[in-house]
Structure 1
């Protein structure tokens, strides 16, 4: 009986440790994805200054809305001076993203298909860009 309770406690601790690791892995993925996007945008320091300095945490970047370690929204203020850069394809990997406003950013190229599978995306504004690609008739 005592051995059985001991095994249950160890099993319980194993589950807690596993879930903690799983949380940390998924928690860091939004940060890693946005860091990748950040690296593609830092060429234009004049437009989004906070994105240029690597010591600024991702969730403190201008236009980024985080809740805990998940990125829920990106709203880049680049209407006054377009970025003139390719669409950052890794944006479609932000699994918790609820809104994305990259309007008037002067983005070019094709929109990656992975953006259309973002389950939490409610608001998407890509107007004022020179983007191409297939747009779905409806989003899930």
Structure 2
């Protein structure tokens, strides 16, 4: 319990300050920490600080590469001063009370690899100009983001994780996302997305997880969804998908969850898919579709 002592600012050569998951309360020690000019890593996660705006003064810490600030009761908008942190490779401000747009500079940051902003009240659209090409993991889920998924996301060739779920995004998913070579996990559920899935999704990357339920997506599932044989989870329930299941699922021996219900799928399950079902799948939910025959006469 108690506040972080002001004496923390007496050691300007400190490079790492890790104070997360404690019982520090009171106000953020803004002035004291901002004096630590050599700081490269700062973590203040999960301390019961009094609600206060994102510290503008942290913009002085221009050597920071790692800024970890979840669960700090931060309010208001992300200040423009943080754009001066041009060495950042990781920025996490999850589970706060932040509002307003995600600043344009975030989407243009040259060294940023890991961006976590989920579980806030962030609003407005995602910038249409995205040049932060070193992004590896991007999670801005559980906010109030609007408009559409930028076409420029298809330029993020290092991206492995794309989490945009529980927002108010609409429009189509850019086809270029299906060409990303390293994409493993894509979660876009609980938005207002329309159109079809990118036709080449799964062919060019080791896709492991696909979750797009509770949208208004339609068309057939991509033919090569399990082309690389890595897929664990297909969660596409509560959409308007139709057509037969892609033949690539026949070789999807790592499937754990197949959740297709409340769509318009047709055709029948092949013996190969049911072989996976009986030997490996943990969850199969296929009700409220138009399958002609789901259980084969023999395996």
Change (3 A) 1:101 1:51: farther
Q: Which residue does 2:224 correspond to in 1?
A: 90
How far off its partner does 1:48 sit?
A: 6.9
CA RMSD of aligned residues (A): 3.0
Residues 185 and 208 in structure 2, CA contact (< 8 A), matched pair in contact too:
yes
Pair 1:109 & 2:210 matched: no
Instruction: Report the counterpart of residue 26 of structure 1 in structure 2.
Output: none
**2:260 is aligned with 1:126:** yes
Which structure: greater helix fraction?
Answer: 1
Change (3 A) 1:90 1:50: farther
* Cα distance, 1:48–1:136 mapped onto 2, change above 3 Å: farther
Contact (CA 8 Å) 1:103, 1:126: kept in 2 or not?
yes
Structure 1: 4+ residue segments shifted above 6 A:
none
| Contact 1:91 1:115 survives alignment (8 Å) | yes
Q: Does the 8 Å CA contact 2:207/2:226 hold for their aligned counterparts?
A: no
What are the superposed Cα offsets for residues 41-64 of structure 1, whole Å, 9 maximum, x if unpaired? Answer: xxxxx8972677312345233375
The aligned counterpart of 1:55 is 155
Structure 1: state its 5+ residue gaps.
1-45
C-alpha contact 1:50 1:56 (8 A) present in aligned 2: no
| Higher relative contact order (Cα pairs below 8 Å, separated by 6+ residues) | 1
Q: Distance in 1 between matches of 2:220 and 2:154?
A: 21
TM-score by length of 1: 0.51
2-structure distance, mates of 1:129, 1:94: 25
SS at match of 2:218: coil
TM-score normalised by the chain length of structure 2: 0.26
Structure (1/2) with the larger strand percentage: 2
Counterpart residue number, 2:189:
none
Partners of 1:53 and 1:108 lie apart in 2 by 26
Which structure 2 segments of 5+ residues have no match? Answer: 1-145, 166-183, 187-204, 277-299
